[in-house]
A and B are shown apart, each in its own frame.
Chain A
Amino acid sequence: MGKLIDENGIRLDGRRWDELRPIKIEIGVIKNADGSAYIEFGRNKIIAAVYGPREAHPKHLALPDRAIVRCRYHMAPFSTEERKSPQPSRREIEISLVLRRAMESAIFLEEYPRSIIDVFVEVLQSDGGSRCASITAVSAALADSGISMRDLIVGCAVGKIDGQIVLDLSDHEDKEGEGDMPVAYMPNLDKIVLLQFDGIFSEEEFKKAIDLAILGNKKVYEILKRALIEKYFGTVDEK
């Protein structure tokens, strides 16, 4: 296994342990959708788009007291090193499920009874942490659509490489490292809404990882907030 952090504490892509990859968020990229967003998170390039709340179809899906959320996370065949079959894999189905649950924690579903909210996520290019980038794009798209939410959701992963807990694993660090932990978070309500992990963590490392993930998520939140303000108010007022 190659060394992922050098003696000066610098990772292969030049970052320190607590640094994120560059993030760019653009709101309203799909004109037909009710809300949409594009995110670049490292080499991840992801579009999220929302349709709804709209009439549930097929009708029997509708619930009398709240909206239901449908989510499709999909990776383009050209998004990976080797061509990915366009059929949804088990991984994609699972990610669709965890993204949906994260959204359900944030949306005021009870405000939209008998309706459906469709959320589509297309990964055009994948890098490490694509589900975290996706949930950030999804929450931007939901905000863009005007659906009422308790809070925005942001996501970023933490992991363990060369025995150290670090923020935001790249693809290579994810493959070569000892552990990966995607976390999505509602920053104002201070709630974790998505958590998965694999790899070996002591209890102490686990707690450290969660705290670092929350810290990283707060940084992502600032970037997301800025993108939304820029979209709706033109410029960000620098104080």
Chain B
Amino acid sequence: MSIKKSPIIENLRKIQMIELLSKEKRLDGRSLTDFRPITIKVGVIQKSNGSAEVSIGNTKVVAGVKVETGTPFPDTPNQGLLVVNAEFLPFSSALIEPGPPDEDAIEVSRVVDRGIRESQMIDLNALVIEPGKLVYCVFVDISILNMDGNIFDAAFLSAVSALLTTSFEKKVVKEDGNIAVQICKLPTRCIPISVTSIIIGDSILVDPTEEEESVQDSRLTLTFNDYGYLCAGQKGGSMGMSREQLFKIVDISKAKAEELRIFVKKVIENAQV
């Protein structure tokens, strides 16, 4: 995925794409700032504590959350743990081979991790059983089932949707000293949303397909919290971007994040009825 092998086709495709983009058109007929149709199904894996399957166009990912107990890091004795891991399944594209996560999978997991962590979506302070000794660990595992571009946003949406619907068995010490088990919702504070855009030539495209990504100049993933503040970001692609392009992407993404958050809220509310 990271190194493209067909330079001639790629260059031809890029010329064709730039021509089309100059008329503000995309190959699939969308406007430059439109997302493809998004579907979110929550609770698809009953054995997990929370799960969600997300499709953005043909891109499909599933995320499962497991909440277990473990020891906290020595420097954060009063915080639970968050672990995010992403994997491109070998059937997700003809170009993927089985094996340990490569740099692309690691990048996806770290970008999703930072977005969730920095937005302070999960109240990690509420996940302590015994300070310094025992805390809850929230494992978010993301499996990419089918790749057609914008893996970042699909992975992020699935992780957030899964976390919003996560419940787990919480051990509570009763007055008589016995331990009771209580089913609790994961303590969340906000709904962070990531929006990925790419630059091709002079055009900015939101939610790129695989084909668009293959000719991208650069890419930017931005994560916003409920108040429209930026909380994480990552540039990709092998060309620079100007300050003006960057600021334009921030404006576009902020509006898109707001739309997406309303959609996610609706899905979660419907799921809980």
Contacts and interface: CB of A to CB of B under 8 A. Distances in A.
Interface in B1-44: 2-3, 5, 7-8
A199 interface: yes
Residue among A65, A68, A189, A201 facing the most chain B CB atoms (10 A cut-off) = A201
B3 A190 contact: no
A192 B242 contact: yes
Contacts of A193: 235, 239-240
Residue among A65, A200, A210, A214 facing the most chain B CB atoms (10 A cut-off) = A200
A110 B220 CA distance: 25
B236 A206 contact: no
Contacts of A101: 235-238
A200 B232 CA distance: 8
Contacts of B8: 65
A200 B238 contact: no
B106 interface: yes
Given A189-B240, A190-B242, A196-B234, A202 B229 contact: yes
Interface string A190-217: 1111111111111100110011001000
B231 to A, nearest CB: 5
Contact of A203 (B2, B3, B230, B240): B230
A211 B235 contact: no
Interface in A65-113: 65-66, 68, 90-91, 93-94, 96-98, 101, 104-105
Contacts of B247: 207, 210
Nearest to A101: B238
A214 B241 CA distance: 13
B236 to A, nearest CB: 7
Nearest to A91: B110
B240 A198 contact: no
B7 A63 contact: yes
A192 B7 contact: no
Interface in B78-114: 103, 106-107, 109-110, 114
Contacts, number: 102
B225 to A, nearest CB: 7
A201 B107 CA distance: 22
Interface size classification for chain B:
35 or more
B243 A196 contact: no
Interface in A164-212: 179, 181, 186, 189-203, 206-207, 210-211
A83 to B, nearest CB: 14
B254 interface: yes
B246 interface: yes
B237 A93 contact: no
Given A195-B233, A196-B233, A200-B229, A104 B238 contact: yes
B246 A195 contact: yes
Contacts of B230: 197, 200-203, 206
B243 A94 contact: no
Contact of B241 (A63, A96, A192): A192
B118 interface: yes
A105 B250 contact: no
A195 B235 CA distance: 5
A64 interface: yes
B239 A105 contact: yes
Contacts of B107: 94, 97
Contacts of B231: 198-201
Contacts of A98: 234-235
A198 B114 contact: yes
15 contacts: A68-B3, A97-B103, A97-B106, A104-B239, A181-B233, A191-B239, A191-B240, A195-B233, A195-B235, A196-B235, A197-B233, A198-B233, A201-B230, A203-B230, A214-B243
Given A101-B237, A196-B234, 20 more contacts: A61-B3, A63-B5, A93-B106, A94-B107, A97-B2, A98-B234, A101-B236, A101-B238, A104-B239, A105-B238, A179-B118, A191-B239, A191-B240, A191-B241, A193-B235, A195-B235, A198-B232, A203-B230, A210-B247, A214-B243
